[in-house]
Amino acid sequence: PQNVGILAMEIYFPPTCIKQDTLENFDGVSKGKYTIGLGQDCMAFCSEVEDVISMGLTAVTSLLEKYEIDPKQIGRLEVGSETVIDKSKSIKTFLMQIFEDCGNTDIEGVDSTNACYGGTAALFNCVNWVESSSWDGRYGLVVSTDSAVYAEGAARPTGGAGAVAMLIGPDAPIAFESKFRASHMEHVYDFYKPDLASEYPVVDGKLSQTCYLMALDSCYKRYCQKYEKIQGKEFSMADADYFVFHSPYNKLVQKSFARLVFDDVARNVSTVDESAKEKLGQYTSLGSEESYQSRDLEKAAQQVAKPDYDKKVQPATLIPKQLGNMYTASLYAAFASLIHNKNSSLDGNRVMMFSYGSGLTATMFSLHLTEGKGAFSLSNIAKVMNIDHKLNTRTEVVPEKFVELMHLMEHRYGGKDFVTSTDISHLAAGTYYLTNVDSKYRRFYAKK
Ligand code: ACO
């Protein structure tokens, strides 16, 4: 099979959200800390009737319906998530309900978990399967679904929630350049979830920021080396049209892109102009630890990177800024923003993708885009995702209500024997929701 990649996409996120400027006021932090400091506009969250399973069910059924895919045509279903609802039973098995109803139980795949990286692992599994000798000719389906919630404090405004479903097969408008993939993985305690009684992570914010940038550097350098070895010519940022990053919050994305600009200066590639060399050259002698701590370098690089950031990154920031960190879905929601904003004009473009999961696992890979045909075309994907409508029909919730809900969810986490609220008026038709958890911890869902 040729040009294996993403044929179709759907995104679902809860219609409930909180505005970051309202949250700044409520938390009593300085004005602008979340909106400018973190670069975030809004944060999505699951109300008590939604969770990663219901969001996954909604995203998958909506994708199958809108692209008119017969559920029997799915041969592999992979889920990426770091939201633990059950330590054994995969989210994938919940999604099997959709396929059992059509008599299709012959579907490989389970869940992949490592912080925000699980969606990428799931995606690679599907792409690899289609490219392999065990492929049976059917589609792969990837679901990234997460609800990111943090304990009260500095990390809370970096939460978010959402699910992205992607259909995988050959002759895709979004094709993988599978030869050019580079990873960086190591053992670090930057963000982890050791307390099984709590949904909240233990997080070392500063360390996680440095680890992210360090992994980015490492992946980019390796990507360039692999490309140069295979293609026999130099690779630089000028060879890519767009850059899409895992987006815990927008400020880190701005810093990441600036870091790549600095990396090209340090690599002394031919495409770097004189003014960039002049402004950033002096920092190339810094030791790696120092270079992550240097505020002067960070500022100078962001300034040099700004025009290209606006062109090559900004179109992929819409949903992450509006929803917050969706963990495994975050990178793919950023990519969905790019399709939404640029659709057909992406024909012939190369898009760089950077996936980061704390702990840590990271990969940089690239996609080659073509307009495609019919249902599986960039313009149709943008139309189906209908992102403006989804963003514009959300309900803003006041912080008091949000905190009250967080307390309820803390109490319910890992619990049994409860029935959820009967008020589902805020959900769109077709949305799945949690109705109850019985005395044996079994979860039940219904479709509105
Ligand atoms: N106006 C404008 N900017 C402001 C203001 C203000 N009033 N106040 C603060 N800022 C800026 C700060 O200067 C800082 O910007 P900088 O990074 O360019 O210096 C930014 O806002 C954040 O302020 P900090 O004081 O650094 O924030 P704090 O330490 O309180 O929390 C953090 C930020 C660490 C990101 C926290 O939210 C967190 O731990 N989040 C979860 C971890 C995370 O997302 N890590 C990313 C990779 S791992 C992953 O994906 C989970």
Residue among 400, 432, 423 nearest 97 (CA): 432
108 is catalytic: no
Burial status of residue 433 (CB atoms within 10 A of its CB: 0-12, 13-18, 19 or more):
buried
Burial environment of residue 137 by CB neighbours within 10 A (0 to 12, 13 to 18, 19 or more)? exposed
Q: Specify which residues 161 forms β-bridges with.
A: 147
CA distances from 109 to 80, 102, 121, 126 (A): 11, 18, 11, 9
Instruction: Supply the residue whose CA is at minimum distance from atom 34 of ligand 1.
Output: 205
Q: Provide the percentage of residues in the chain whose pLDDT is more than 70.
A: 100
353 pLDDT exceeds 90?
yes
ipTM above 0.85, yes or no: yes
Q: List residues near ligand 1 (CB under 6 A).
A: 30-33, 36-38, 116, 154-155, 158, 191, 203, 205, 208-209, 212, 248, 251-252, 325, 358
**CA 353 – CA 333 distance, rounded (Å):** 12
Q: Could you tell me which residues are beta bridge partners of residue 112?
A: 80
Q: How confident is the model at residue 255 (pLDDT cuts 50, 70, 90)?
A: very high
Catalytic residue (choose from 17, 42, 224, 246): 246
Residues sharing a CB contact under 8 Å with residue 289, sequence separation 6 or more, in sequence order: none
Which residues, 6 or more positions from 422, have their beta carbon under 8 angstroms from its beta carbon? Answer: none
The answer for residues whose C-beta is within 8 angstroms of residue 295's C-beta and 6 or more apart is: none
CA of 104 to the centre of ligand 1 (A): 46
Give the pLDDT band of residue 288 (cuts 50, 70, 90). confident
Q: For this structure, is 82 an active site residue?
A: yes
184 is catalytic: no
Average pLDDT of the chain is 97
What does the H/E/C string look like for the chain? CCCCEEEEEEEECCCEEEEHHHHHHHHCCCCCHHHHHCCCCEEECCCCCCCHHHHHHHHHHHHHHHCCCCHHHEEEEEEECCCCCCCCCCHHHHHHHHHHCCCCCCCECCEECECECHHHHHHHHHHHHHHCCCCCCCEEEEEEEEEECCCCCCCHHHCEEEEEEEEEECCCCEEECCCCCEEEECCCCCEECCCCCCCCCEECHHHHHHHHHHHHHHHHHHHHHHHHHHHCCCCCHHHCCEEEECCCCHHHHHHHHHHHHHHHHHHCCCCCCHHHHHHHHHHCCCCHHHHHHCHHHHHHHHHHHHHHHHHHCHHHCHHHHHHCCCHHHHHHHHHHHHHHHHHHHHCCCEEEEEEEECCCEEEEEEEEECCEECCEEHHHHHHHHCHHHHHHCCEECCHHHHHHHHHHHHHHCCCCCEECCCCCCCCCCCCEEEEEECCCCCEEEEEC
Q: Determine the average pLDDT of the residues in 17-25.
A: 97
74-108 per-position pLDDT tens digit:
999 999 999 989 999 999 999 999 999 999 999 99
The residue whose CA has the least distance to atom 3 of ligand 1 is: 37
Q: Is the pLDDT of residue 308 over 90?
A: yes
Per-residue pLDDT at 241 exceeds 90: yes
- The pLDDT, as a whole number, for residue 403 is 97
Q: Which atom of ligand 1 lies nearest, measured to the CA of 154?
A: 30
Span 317-347, pLDDT tens digits: 999 999 999 999 999 999 999 999 999 999 9
The topology under which CATH files domain 5-447 is Peroxisomal Thiolase; Chain A, domain 1 (3.40.47)
pLDDT for the residue numbered 444: 98
Structure tokens at 128: 């690899």
End-to-end CA distance of the chain: 39
pLDDT of 131 strictly over 90:
yes
pLDDT at 422 (0 to 100)? 85
| The pLDDT value given to residue 253 | 98
Atom 8 (ligand 1) nearest CA? 33
Domain edges within the chain: 5-447
Rounded to the nearest angstrom, the distance between the alpha carbon of 38 and the centre of ligand 1 is 5
Q: Identify the residue whose tokens are 């500022």.
A: 299
User: Is the pLDDT assigned to residue 39 strictly greater than 90?
Assistant: yes
Counting atoms of ligand 1 from 1, which one is nearest the CA of 212?
A: 47
pLDDT recorded at residue 149: 97
pLDDT at 430 over 90: yes
User: How far apart are the C-alpha atoms of 201 and 82, rounded to whole Å?
Assistant: 10
Task: Among 83, 156, 208, say which to mutate for ligand 1: greatest number of ligand atoms within 8 Å of CB.
Answer: 208
> Buried (b) or exposed (e) across 331-366, using 16+ Cβ within 10 A?
bbbbbbbbbbbbbeebeebebbbbbbbbbbbbbbbb
Render pLDDT for 370-379 as a digit per residue (tens, 0 to 9). 999 999 999 9
Convert the pLDDT of each residue in 168-218 to its tens digit: 999 999 999 999 999 999 999 999 999 999 999 999 999 999 999 999 999
Share of the chain above pLDDT 90, in %: 99
Q: If you take atom 13 of ligand 1, which residue's CA is the nearest one?
A: 37
Tell me: cis bond preceding 360? Omega within 30 of 0 counts. yes
Asked whether the predicted pLDDT for residue 16 surpasses 90, the reply is: yes
Residue 147 to residue 14: CA distance in whole angstroms: 10
pTM over 0.80: yes
